[in-house]
Amino acid sequence: MKTLTDQLAQYASYHRDRRNIATHFVGIPMIVLALAILLSRPQWHVGPVSPAISPALVLFGCATVYYVVLDVALGLLMAIFSAACLVAGAWLAHESTMIWAASGTALFIVGWIFQFVGHVAYEHRKPAFADDLIGLIIGPLFVLAEIVFGFGWRRPLRDSVERRASALREDQHDRHQPI
């Protein structure tokens, strides 16, 4: 399994323009929240007092385990964000079908618009998930890591990710040069 540094560097190599990263700060949370909303239906109750189980709970639970395996501290922060999204998703799942579907779909579409604008207008490069689907799971962790780095926390990790991302970007650029 790739390390946290490997995963973040691979993702970061597709995200070098600060304006593109800024669009991800808006788009990725919108997409994550949209998934929590849209996948909060159906809900199943295993016992009379158990919490409802939904596709959202299963997806976010698996993703959180993966994040914690990569890094306990970041994984726990992602667990808090995921829990907030799941609460909002479960709440909207109890609303009318129109409100539930419209809110989830609107967030999903607008979130992806932000993503693609960032890549087309600023990065001039396809999204990371186009080459490796794990980018869909790493994207939210990347945004959280960028926030953590912005506060000056985890400098050694940030420096390691930046060095490796720059090297990966150069390698990717060299492979696409005409001979």
Whether 103 is covered by a domain: the verdict is yes
Whether 179 is covered by a domain: the verdict is no
Whether 122 is covered by a domain: the verdict is yes
pLDDT of residue 161: 94
Distance CA 76, CA 64 (A): 8
Query: pLDDT digit of tens for each residue in the chain (179 aa)?
Result: 899 999 999 999 888 889 999 999 999 999 999 999 999 998 887 777 667 789 999 999 999 999 999 999 999 999 999 999 999 999 999 999 999 999 999 999 999 999 999 988 888 787 778 777 888 899 999 999 999 999 999 999 999 999 999 888 887 655 554 44
Whether 139 is covered by a domain: the verdict is yes
Whether 99 is covered by a domain: the verdict is yes
pLDDT of residue 169: 81
Other CB atoms within 10 A of residue 110 CB:
15
Distance CA 115, CA 117 (A): 6
Domain of residue 106, residue span: 4-173
Find, among 77, 61, 65, the residue nearest to 141 by Cα: 77
Whether 125 is covered by a domain: the verdict is yes
pLDDT of residue 179: 46
pLDDT tens across 3-17, in order? 999 999 999 988 888
Whether 63 is covered by a domain: the verdict is yes
Going from the C-alpha of 36 to that of each of 32, 40, 48, 176, the distances in angstroms are: 6, 6, 23, 38
What phi-psi label fits residue 3: left (phi over 0), alpha (psi between -120 and 50 degrees) or beta? beta
Number of domains in the chain: 1
Distance CA 41, CA 35 (A): 11
- Three-state DSSP at 44 gives strand
